[in-house]
């Protein structure tokens, strides 16, 4: 190899090495285990002290909002985890009872999960949810009798196609 090529290879090596070093050293400080509520429960004492993102639904009736400490229970597949949110940022708009939530924080000794950050996805945000004045959406629950009668009376044209 000629000197220029050697220099190029060294230069490239230095850049690649720097990127890899940055990636490896930056990895530990920002990594978090992603667990669902039952998976977190299954971890047992092993979960203590680790940074964890735990995913579940906010249990209905468990949400207590307070400007400085919001507490709620996360629930998934029958397992429940108490969460205390101590972060400073305002909770997202989509955060409410029944919402799908990812809480980012650590499990405390008293068994409460202390979250510094909350990401919320509202279940009705894009795809599912209920039509105003209608029964459950596609794949939803059974249609109420009154609605069924309304449809049979032809009030919302059950089989017509507006285009024709």
Partner 1 sequence: MADLGNFALILALCLATYAVIASVWGAHSGREPLIRSGENAALVVAAALLTVMVCLDVLLVRSDFHIEYVASYTNRDLPLFFKFAALWAGQAGSLLLWSSLIAVFTALVILQNRHKNRGLMPYVVAILSTTSLFFIILNLFVTNPFDELVAHFADGSVAPWAAPDGKGLNPLLQHPAMVIHPPTLFIGYVGFVVPYAFAMAALITGELGNKWITLTRRWTIVPWFFLGTGILLGGNWAYQELGWGGYWAWDPVENASFMPWLCGTAFLHSVMIQEKRGMLKVWNMILIILTFSLSILGTFLTRSGVVSSVHAFAASSIGGWFLAFLIVMVVFSLVLLFLRLPQLKAQNEIESMVSREAGFLFNNLLLVGAAFSILWGTLFPILSEAVQGVKITVGPPFFNRINVPLGLGLLLLTGIGPILAWRKSSSKGLRRNLTVPSVVAVGTAALATFTLGVKHPYSLVSFALAAFVTTVTAMEFGRGTAARARNTGESWPLALVRLVLKNKRRYGGYIIHLGIVVLFIGLTGKAFTQEGQFELAAGESAQVGRYTIRMVRMEERNEPNFQAMRAYLAISKDGRELGYLGPERRVYQASQQPTTEVSIHSTLTEDLYTVFASPTPDGRKGILQVWLNPLVNFVWGGGVIVCFGTLVAMLPDRARRRRLEQMMAAEVASRG
Question: What is residue 16's three-state secondary structure?
Answer: helix
Q: Which of 62, 71, 80, 119 binds partner 1 (CB under 8 A)?
A: 119
Q: Per CB under 8 A, does 9 bind partner 1?
A: no
> Residue 107 has what DSSP assignment?
E
Among the listed residues 61, 98, 91, 92, the one whose alpha carbon sits nearest the alpha carbon of residue 76: 98
Site for partner 1 in 52-71 (CB under 8 A): 53, 55, 65-67
22 or 108, CB closer to partner 1? 22
Which residues between 20 and 39 bind partner 1 (CB under 8 A)?
Answer: 22-23, 25-27, 29-35
Rounded least distance, CB 17 to partner 1, Å: 11
The interface with partner 1 within residues 93-112 (CB under 8 A) comprises 93-94, 96, 102, 104
End-to-end Cα spacing for the chain: 75
The reply to whether 49 sits near partner 1 by the rule CB under 8 A is no
The answer to the question of residue 18 lying near partner 1 (CB under 8 A) is yes
Using CA atoms in the order 6, 10, 11, 12, what is the torsion angle rounded to 10 degrees?
100
Site for partner 1 in 144-163 (CB under 8 A): 145, 147-148, 151, 156-163
CB of 32 to partner 1, least distance (A): 5
Contact predicate 26/20, CB 8 Å: no
Is 1 one of the binding residues for partner 1 (CB under 8 A)? no
Nearer CB in complex with partner 1: 82/147: 147
**DSSP string across 74-97:** EEETTEEEEEEE--SSPPPTT-ST
Report the residue from 42, 48, 69, 130 that binds partner 1 according to the rule CB under 8 A.
Answer: 130
Tokens of 108: 């405390």
| Structural contact between residues 86 and 114, judged by C-beta atoms closer than 8 angstroms | yes
Alpha carbons 137 and 135: distance in angstroms, whole number: 6
């Amino acid at each position: 190899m000629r000197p220029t090529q050697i220099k190029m290879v060294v230069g490239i090596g230095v850049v690649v090495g720097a990127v890899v070093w940055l990636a490896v050293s930056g990895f530990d400080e920002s990594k978090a285990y992603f667990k669902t509520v039952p998976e977190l429960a299954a971890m047992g004492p092993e979960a203590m002290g680790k940074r964890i993102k735990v995913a579940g639904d906010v249990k209905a009736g468990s949400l207590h909002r307070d400007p400085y400490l919001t507490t709620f229970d996360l629930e998934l597949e029958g397992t429940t985890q108490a969460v205390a949110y101590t972060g400073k940022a305002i909770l997202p708009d989509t955060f409410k009872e029944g919402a799908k939530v990812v809480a980012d924080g650590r499990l405390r000794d008293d068994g409460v999960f202390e979250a510094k950050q909350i990401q919320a996805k509202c279940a009705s945000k894009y795809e599912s949810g209920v039509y105003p004045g209608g029964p459950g959406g596609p794949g939803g629950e059974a249609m109420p009798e009154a609605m069924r009668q309304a449809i049979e009376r032809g009030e919302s044209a059950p089989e017509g196609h507006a285009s024709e």
